[in-house]
Amino acid sequence: MRTAKAAAAFLVYCQYRDLRPKTMEAYRWALRHLESHWEDLPENYRQLLPVVGNPRLALESRRDLRRLLCRFYWWIAGEYKVPNATLELEPLPRKKLLPRVLTPAEVTTLWASCTTDREHGMVAVILDCGARLGEVAGMVKGDLGPGYVRVSGKTGERQVPLSPSVQELLQRLGDGQYIWTHGKGALTRNGLQRAYQTLFKRSGLTGRKLGPHLLRHTFGTFYCRAGGNVRILQEIMGHQDLETTMIYVNLAGRDVAVDHARFSPITTLELVA
């Protein structure tokens, strides 16, 4: 089967499913790479190695390319009964970048930059329960219970603990139904995202990925630093995979290493030159 024909058929299928423009462009990008190497559709994984392993592409781009081609082949193999060349195509290694976390001083700076109860609530709720932006945006007064708040996000609905002081703060916000409001009614997810961006900009904090997810990472790391149970943290943060939660254990471990370097008897007593 000609690669161009297969690509065109798949894109028609994607359009039928009304995929987002960004997703459509990603598929077009991947299929252009495939067409540039092979006029006829590859039928074994060895033929795909020079495509996905293109040294001119960054590792993350190659990982994206493999993922997109796997989805393409899954559909093509089922629709046209051609061999799925990606079945034996091994996953590429993931470059693990530990997320940034706010220091205690930066948390204090951010808190001092809040000018309204709503902004204090925006910071406090994530630092207290590690909820995602979408979960925070979806909170309403009816989700607040004694010592907890119900959240709903990409991993479904769950109940997470909430400190009494944070709960009281959230109860004071908004109106009788909504927590996050502005002059025209309830804040949308995008509106809340902009509110976080405004706050972080005002705080003067610098660095990468400033925003609500940074507060989520900070919650997870501080929880582990304080000796919190990683399995319970997994439930609170709504991680499906424990490996994701273990990132915060690793981040907390970096502080353990720093403290060890400062406070080990070998160092403090200068026993080893």
Same domain, 201 and 257: yes
150 lies in a domain? yes
List pLDDT tens digits, range 159-172. 999 999 999 999 99
95 lies in a domain? no
What pLDDT was estimated at residue 273?
Answer: 44
| Res. 109: pLDDT tops 90 | yes
256 lies in a domain? yes
List pLDDT tens digits, range 178-237. 999 988 789 999 999 999 999 999 999 988 789 999 999 999 998 888 888 888 888 899
Same domain, 76 and 108: no
Q: Is the dihedral of CA 208, 107, 203, 132 positive or negative?
A: positive
CB of 261 within 8 A of CB of 255?
A: no
87 lies in a domain? no
Residue 227 maps to which CATH number? 1.10.443.10
Which residue stretches of 42-149 are H helix? Answer: 45-52, 59-80, 104-113, 117-129, 133-137
Same domain, 159 and 196: yes
Same domain, 13 and 59: yes
74 lies in a domain? yes
What pLDDT was estimated at residue 195?
Answer: 96
Domain that holds residue 32: 3-80
Same domain, 28 and 108: no
> HEC states along 100-113?
CCCCHHHHHHHHHH
> How high does pLDDT run on average in the chain?
88
94 lies in a domain? no
